[in-house]
Amino acid sequence: MKYYSLNKKAPKTSFEQAVVKGLAPDKGLYFPEEIQPLDKSFFDNIEQISREEIAFQAIQQFVSPEIPKKVLRQIIKETIDFDFPIVSLNNEISTLELFHGPTMAFKDVGARFMARCLGYFNQNNKEEITVLVATSGDTGGAVAHGFLGVKGIKVVILYPKGKVSNVQEKQLTTLGQNITALEVDGVFDDCQDMVKRAFLDQDLTSKMQLTSANSINVARWLPQMFYFFFTYQQLKSKYKQLVFSVPSGNFGNICAGMIAKKLGLPIEHFIAANNENNVITKFLKTKEYVPEPTIATLSNAMDVSNPSNFVRIQEIYDQDFEVLKKDLTSYFYTDKATEKALIEIKEKYNYIADPHGAIGYLACKDYLKENENVHCVFLETAHPTKFLPTVERVLNETVALPDQIKELMNKKKVAIEISNYGGLKNFLLSK
Ligand SMILES: Cc1ncc(COP(=O)(O)O)c(C=O)c1O
Ligand SMILES: N[C@@H](CCOP(=O)(O)O)C(=O)O
């Protein structure tokens, strides 16, 4: 597969180069040159196909020929060796639990897949690669875990000081080895801007090979389509029309779902569920894309004001606003509404959601008010104990910590404080 830059001012490149470079030289995100829908028979028989085979069929065209089939099968096997359960709340709403991986957030899938692709490309230690990643909470931990100890790769994580949960912070600051955390005096968008700026800084790029492990990187982004297929496989016989409500921040997850649809997966509609950082909700109303300063919310991982993947979504829908609107609805919710939803989900369904999932739930409810005969699946994008103080305060009860999080809380945070791009640059040049 060839990839082109969405800024259209850089040469097309291979999957390998798109992964190793992260961002195109013209600062554009890479996008696959063509998307070949899967055979109808694949969808007809999907219930009989293993999860590994589904993932293989879905992603093969995007990674070939650089990743041989045998290697790809192994990468997939190691990437998705945990559960993706669906819990039914009622006849109209289910939740897809994406927190059964090692860092208890959906990011584990993309981070593990990308780490293995990069490890494969760099198996002879051609050149040390520095992976830069900006996080509003969960990407950092998943990438740290996914890349820990991978030879020839250093990971530098930028996160906004005081704006991630305790558990998230521990996950990204306690591993050591080839992982370094930089605590940035700013918001997530500042971290993301610094990462993008570093890719274009010749003082850096002439001395080191930099890449990104955010959803900017196609190897982090595309595998996020797997679980849309797994959901269809499990619910196909029960419900005719599936709608996905995706708690969204940088919009990589929902955008991967849209690629799944392009491959032929029968998804009736997407809902982007947002907190008050609602640039896309407003865009769908006004056709104007106007990022505003970030607001800190209880669903901190979605505190993104200028989502990177907006341009990919535009490309999937050929820059056609009306066509996009047929497939995408967006709602946003305040912290107050999020708290009420957490309580409602617990009281009505005896289910403990996290603040991001709670927003997904609210969006399902609103969509169902106007649309009949559909089943809405909201993505539970992280485990509720990653946001323990909020969840316990709102539900007024103690929630047991999983063992892996208990262990983590005793570890010591190690992070380097920086306040601007100069801080990042100095750090990278000093290594
Ligand atoms: C728990 C959680 N929910 C939702 C999101 C938003 O996902 P995306 O950035 O792919 O839109 C994130 C961060 O990415 C997250 O960590
Ligand atoms: N919410 C994310 C923000 C970065 O998103 P990504 O999918 O582009 O890595 C986070 O948890 O860090």
Tell me the pLDDT tens digit for each residue of 83-104. Answer: 999 999 999 999 999 999 999 9
Using DSSP's 3-state secondary structure scheme, residue 251 falls into coil
Secondary structure of residue 142 in the 3-state scheme:
helix
* CA pair distance 326, 75, nearest whole angstrom: 35
Share of the chain above pLDDT 90, in %: 95
In this structure, which ligand is nearest to the CA of 254? Answer: 1
Helix (H) or strand (E) holding 361: helix 355-370
Section 338-351 average pLDDT: 98
Residue 22 Cβ contacting ligand 2 at under 6 Å: no
- Does ipTM top 0.90? yes
Q: How far is the CA of 139 from the centre of ligand 2 (A)?
A: 5
Specify the DSSP class assigned to residue 161: T
Instruction: For strands 30-32 and 93-97, give the pairing.
Output: unpaired
Q: Whose CA is nearest to atom 11 of ligand 2?
A: 138
Average pLDDT, integer, range 138-158: 95
Kindly tell me the sign of the dihedral angle through the C-alpha atoms of 190, 192, 197, 203. positive
Q: Is the pLDDT of residue 125 over 80?
A: no
* Degrees to nearest 5, angle at CA 150 with 64 and 66: 10
Cα separation, 410 vs 379, whole angstroms: 30
Positions of E strands within 114-247: 129-134, 153-160, 179-184, 209-212, 242-247
Report the relative pairing of strands 30-32 and 209-212 from DSSP bridges.
unpaired
Q: Which of 107, 154, 196, 261 is catalytic?
A: 107
CA 386 to ligand 1 center in whole angstroms: 13
- Residue where the block lists tokens 């609103």: 366
What domains can you pick out in the chain, each with its CATH number? Answer: 83-105+221-400 (3.40.50.1100)
42: three-class secondary structure by DSSP: helix
Please tell me the predicted confidence (pLDDT) of residue 116: 96
Residue 13: pLDDT band with limits 50, 70, 90: very high
Q: What is the pLDDT of residue 299?
A: 97
| Residue 224 and residue 247 in contact, taking contact as beta carbons nearer than 8 Å | no
Question: Measuring CA to CA, how many Å separate 282 from each of 288, 330, 331, 355?
Answer: 7, 8, 9, 21
Query: Which whole number is the average pLDDT over 142-154?
Result: 94
Q: Of 142, 86, 135, give the one whose Cα is nearest residue 379.
A: 86
* Spatial distance between the Cα atoms of 102 and 364, rounded to a whole number of angstroms: 28
390 — phi, psi (to 5°)? -65, -50
- Separation of alpha carbons 132 and 428, rounded Å: 10
pLDDT interval class at 404 (50, 70, 90):
confident
Please state the atom number of ligand 1 nearest to the C-alpha of residue 247: 4
Minimum mean pLDDT range among 80-89, 240-249, 345-354, 406-415: 406-415
Examine the residue annotation and report whether 386 is marked as an active-site residue of this protein: no
How do residues 198-215 score in pLDDT, each as one tens digit?
998 999 999 999 999 999
Question: How far is the C-alpha of 422 from the C-alpha of 407, rounded, in Å?
Answer: 35
Residue 151 above 90 pLDDT? no
Q: Name the average pLDDT for the chain.
A: 96
Beta strands in 15-92 (DSSP E): 30-32, 86-88
> What is the C-alpha to C-alpha distance for residues 127 and 208, in angstroms, rounded to an integer?
9
Residue with tokens 């690629």: 259
For residue 244, give the 3-state DSSP assignment. strand
Distance of CA 372 to the CA centre of its chain: 29
| Amino acid making up residue 322 | E
- Of 261-270, 379-388, 401-410, the poorest mean pLDDT is in 401-410
Indicate the top mutation candidate among 381, 383, 386, 388 to test ligand 1's pocket, ranked by most ligand atoms within 8 A of CB.
381
Q: What is the DSSP letter of 243?
A: E
Average of per-residue pLDDT across 376-401: 96
How many residues are given for the chain?
431
For residue 40, name the pLDDT band (cuts at 50, 70, 90). Answer: very high
Instruction: Quote the ligand 2 centre to 114 CA distance (angstroms).
Output: 14
The pTM of the full predicted model, rounded to 2 decimals, is 0.97
Number of the ligand 2 atom closest to the C-alpha atom of 252 = 7
Q: What is the per-residue pLDDT across 266-323, written as a single tens digit (0 to 9) for each?
A: 999 999 999 999 999 999 999 999 999 999 999 999 999 999 999 999 999 999 999 9
Q: Is the CB of 214 under 6 A from ligand 2?
A: yes
Identify the bridge partners of residue 379 per DSSP, sorted by sequence position: 96
Give the model's confidence band at 127: pLDDT under 50 very low, under 70 low, under 90 confident, else very high. Answer: confident
Question: Residue 418's beta-bridge partner residues?
Answer: 184
Q: Is the dihedral of CA 84, 298, 417, 214 positive or negative?
A: positive
